[in-house]
Structure 1
Amino acid sequence: MPFLFVLHRLCLVFPRHRTFHTPSSTPPIKFDNDTILATLSSYSNDWNRALEFFHWLSSTPGFSHSSATLTATVDILGKHFEFDRAWSLLSSFPSLPDRSTFRSLFNRLAAARLVSDALLALDRSAAFGLRDHQTFLQLIDALCAHRLTPEAYDLCFKNPPFSVNCDTKAHNLLLQGWLKMNWWGQCRRFWEEMDSRRVEKDLHSYTIYMDVVSKSGKPWKAIKLYKEMKNKGISPDAVAYNTVIQAAGHCDGAERAIRLYREMLDSGCKPTVATFNTIVNLLCSEGRVNEGYRFLGEMKKMGFEADVITYHCFFRHSSRPQEILWLFERMLATGCRPRMDTYVMLMKKFGRWGFLRPVFKVWKVMEENGYSPDSFAYKAFIDALLQKGMVEMARKYDQEMLSKGLSPKLRKEFETKLVSGLSEDEDNNINSVNAANYEQVMPG
């Protein structure tokens, strides 16, 4: 059911009173769950509106909320630190909260660094029949995801509500948490602790620790762990292969990575887009861009489309403007949506090379795709304009940037006019010259 059509029938919004209301003359509406969730998502930055919409639905005859709609609303309230309202809502619908509801609540409390409140939430989950080992692991996961691994560690091993001494999953969550904090020494100590506690290391344990040693500058250890894992009879999955392929590439170059990729195929493990991106990036970084394109063709044969990371590999390592423009147009034609850092990267590249027309093209595409430029985009664009001497146009965008609350960069080109004391006629002449330059460089 089309979202806008349903939303138009679903709610009448009065701008002055900002209330939802169902006309008495219309028959009961059949609500589409996906549309309701999409509507709640559209109110993610306005908790008051989201809560009002939730209650309006509750009062509608024939409608019953689901765990999904409750969880979505609780998540929005948590995003805005309205935890008291979230608990009030949970208490009003005691049969609806499920594990996903508490996972969302734990994540929001951990993001706000309210560790004691998160522990209290674990205790309060008992009222909904959810206080168990699985919910406890959700809490540990949330704490680790938000760089609160020391607190999660203490909770697990200092008077824990549930024992995790030989729990592989709990240890994997903590190991992942230390990795997220880049505490390499603690990762190594914890890996050894797992042995001393006789925790059985599984595929996820090895995958996480291979990532640890690779990112800490010891990729050869990741290859050693990969062999150890296989000797134990643990079959790697796509994530494990991707990790060791990356490590092998950093250690021995793209050829070793490609051999592991072939081994991956022979084992029956299907690669992912990340697998191809890793190899393409390794080939491009070695100057083997044409081989990277051939691998892109192999990627397509296996049913995968290049994503934004794939294109970034080529953009980053290509030194031919025409090739980059062709890739950018192909990216758009295939429906791969550029990110803000894509636009910034391209504008910086073309700006450094002194090609202003492509910079305007990238800026125009960015605006057409609905992106509001951030400070990095403005700075890259202004740098390109100043390099071509278009001071007044650059000044206009600098002021626009300032009006949006973004911090501009101090530039001597803008200070020059302030101290030179140009007359109004001279100023107008400069504007005319810059306008003529703009007409010359602006694409068709």
Structure 2
Amino acid sequence: MMLSLSVSKLLTLTRYAFSLSSIPNFLPISSSNTFLLSFSSHSRFNSNHINNVDDAVSSFHRMLSMNPTPSIVQFTKILGSLVKMNHYPTAISLSHQLEFNGIKPNIVTFNILINCYCHLGQMNFSFSILGKILKMGFQEDTITLNTLMKGLCLNNKVREALHIHDHVVAKGFQLDQVSYGILINGLCKMGETRSALQLLRRIDGKLANADVVMYNIIIDSFCKDKSINDAYELYSEMIAKRISPSVITFSNLIYGFCFVSQLKEAFGLFHEMVLKNINPDVCTFTILVDSLCKEGKVKEAMNVLAMMMKKGVKPSVVTYSSLIDGYCLVNQVNKAIKIFNTMVHKGVVPDVQCYNIIINGLCKNKMVEEAMNLFKEMHNKMIVPNVVTYTTLIDGLCKLGKISYAWELVDEMHLIGLQVDVITYNCLLHALCKKNHLDQAIALVKKMKDQDIQPNMFTYNILIDGLCKGGRLKNAK
């Protein structure tokens, strides 16, 4: 039975789960304590030895055939390891086998199952597990409630998560800082940053003490909204309350200032964090490198890279990609290639985004042959090109008048199941109009429509311009 999770149905289910007439004595213990208590017994099974899903499944079946059968704690460890590998359906399937073999689950097992169903978007099953917990006489803990609220937030049901919060708090159950971090994060993710701040104000010092995680979430959301003054005010509030900012706090604020092109203030915060003995990480440095590169200040970006390496922080593929993009933006593609080769030499594996950046830089500098060589290299290294890769190369080939080669790439896209989009077709259309192949251009627009690809303003501008230049004013009108 599907659960719509409307407010009324949710509260009905919550009333059932929490037995309004006789609310069980909740155990407001921390998440870590529950797992530590459950996993502390001496075990014949070591979850550290599980490297993949096959190891987990074979270990599970081997344990199931033992006589006597190991305790539920040992089986739960395996389910937990599967969850860490994001194999939620497998964990659920194995839990059914436990039930079939008469092995009674414990509260940790149930919490893991709730987590699995939440990640699969099957909230109705998550709530049915909650009912089962109470039916079997277990006492649900903060992990149970936190997992359910997080699941609702993950599935865009933040309001329902807030209703659960209001309900259990009204019944005297004290949630923890993790609970409020989940709710604040859920509100921020749905663009309700102000509501998240109101919740922080509501709980602080009353229901729970606000911590650095809660502040970081709201600061990050304000920064992404370009409300940098609000973000900085929260940072100042943290300092006033003696809540120590973390590297994440500073990285979020530095990103925010860079986002609104206030690099001077960003670097001011960078120096402030160093003075506070908070070490910048790869994310902090990469934000600064990327922002400088976007401003065309590649030399300054290289100075940040040098500082980064001097402090023993290894640049990531994102750091190098930003530098490559920076050099391409200032038309120094040879230096971009040098950075690319340096990255590979240092053992940092370029991803599809990195290849796309360097391929785009080469194509814009009419170095399409070199770009095609990198495209072949991607195939050799088993890095799967995406629509951006193909469109960039198609555009590069079209601008050199090599339309037949461009069509070969379009055919290849269809062959491997990549959706050719309006941007790809616009590149081809522009090339056809430039060569005065106007009938083919008109046919291409018709083909786009037949494939349910809606032409955009650029499509019509390209076609109208081509028809006008070709003297076909009637068609253009």
TM-score normalised by L of structure 1 = 0.73
- Once the two structures are TM-superposed, the CA of residue 242 in structure 1 deviates from its matched residue by 1.3
Q: Which residue of 1 aligns with 2:338?
A: 326
Partner of 2:321: 312
Aligned to 1:147, what secondary structure does the other structure show?
coil
The one-letter code matched in structure 2 to 1:262 is H
> What secondary structure does 1:406 align onto?
coil
Between the aligned partners of 2:378 and 2:165, the Cα distance in structure 1 is: 47
Match of residue 126, structure 2, among 111, 118, 127: 118
Equivalent runs, 1:7-406 vs 2, <5 Å: 36-40=50-54, 54-55=60-61, 58-59=64-65, 67-73=76-82, 79-80=88-89, 85-91=93-99, 92=101, 94=103, 99=108, 105-125=113-133, 131-158=140-167, 163=172, 167-194=176-203, 199-250=208-259, 253-318=262-327, 319=330, 320-406=332-418
Q: Any unmatched runs of 5+ in structure 2?
A: 1-43, 442-477
- Determine what percentage of the aligned residue pairs are the same residue: 22
Structure 1 residues 125, 221: closer, same or farther in 2, change over 3 A? same
CA distance, structure 1, for counterparts of residue 432 and residue 69 of structure 2: 61
The answer to which of 332-341 and 107-116 deviates more is 107-116
Q: Which amino acid is the alignment partner of residue 368 of structure 1?
A: N
With a CA cutoff of 8 Å and minimum separation of 6, indicate the structure with the bigger relative contact order: 2
- Residue number in structure 2 paired with 1:26: none
CA distance in 2, matches of 1:122, 1:308: 43
Amino acid at match of 1:55: H
> CA-to-partner distance for each residue in 1:247-270, whole Å, 9 max, x for gaps?
344457222222222221221222
Query: What CA distance in whole angstroms lies between the structure 2 residues aligned with 1:253 and 1:55?
Result: 58
Shift of 1:419: 6.1
- Contact kept, 8 Å, 1:165 with 1:197, in 2: the verdict is no
The 1:335/1:103 distance shift into structure 2, 3 A limit, reads farther
Counterpart position of 2:7: none
Relative distance call for 1:162 and 1:383 in structure 2 (3 A) is farther
Count of residues in correspondence between the two structures: 381
Answer yes or no: is the 8 Å Cα contact 1:308–1:337 preserved in 2. yes
Q: Aligned to 2:51, what secondary structure does the other structure show?
A: helix
> How far apart are the structure 2 equivalents of 1:250 and 1:325?
27
Shift of residue 271 of structure 1? 1.8
Contact 2:289 2:305 in 1 (8 A): yes
| Alpha-carbon distance in structure 2 between the residues aligned to 1:344 and 1:128 | 56
Q: 1:339 to 1:181 in 2, by over 3 A?
A: farther
Distance verdict in 2 for CA 1:269–1:74, change over 3 Å: closer
Please report how far the alpha carbon of residue 151 of structure 1 lies from its aligned counterpart in structure 2 after TM superposition: 2.2
Is the alpha carbon distance of 1:36 and 1:211 closer, same or farther for their aligned partners in structure 2, counting shifts above 3 Å? Answer: closer
Q: Letter of the 2:283 partner, please give it.
A: A
Please tell me whether the aligned partners of residues 107 and 140 of structure 2 are also in contact (alpha carbons under 8 angstroms).
no
CA distance in 1, matches of 2:52, 2:375: 30
CA offset digits 1:184-239 (Å, max 9, x no partner): 34334434443596643221222112112212221012112111111111111111
Q: Deviations over 1:318-357 (max 9, x none)?
A: 2211111111111111111222222223323322332213
Partners of 1:299 and 1:328 in 2: CA distance: 18
Q: Distance in 2 between matches of 1:31 and 1:352?
A: 57
Mapped to 2, the partners of 1:74 and 1:228 lie a distance apart of 38
Partner Cα distance (1:215, 1:77) in 2: 28
Q: Secondary structure at the match of 1:37?
A: coil
1:66-103 CA distance string (max 9 Å, x none)? 544333457889655x786354134348478774x656
Q: Which residue is equivalent to 1:16?
A: none
1:252–1:232 CA distance, 2 compared to 1 (3 A): farther
CA separation of 1:159 and 1:61: change in aligned 2, threshold 3 A = closer
Give the C-alpha shift of residue 171 in structure 1: 1.8
> Residues 172, 333 of structure 1: CA spacing in aligned structure 2 closer, same or farther, 3 A cutoff?
same
Residue type of the partner of 2:370? P
CA RMSD for the aligned pairs? 3.8
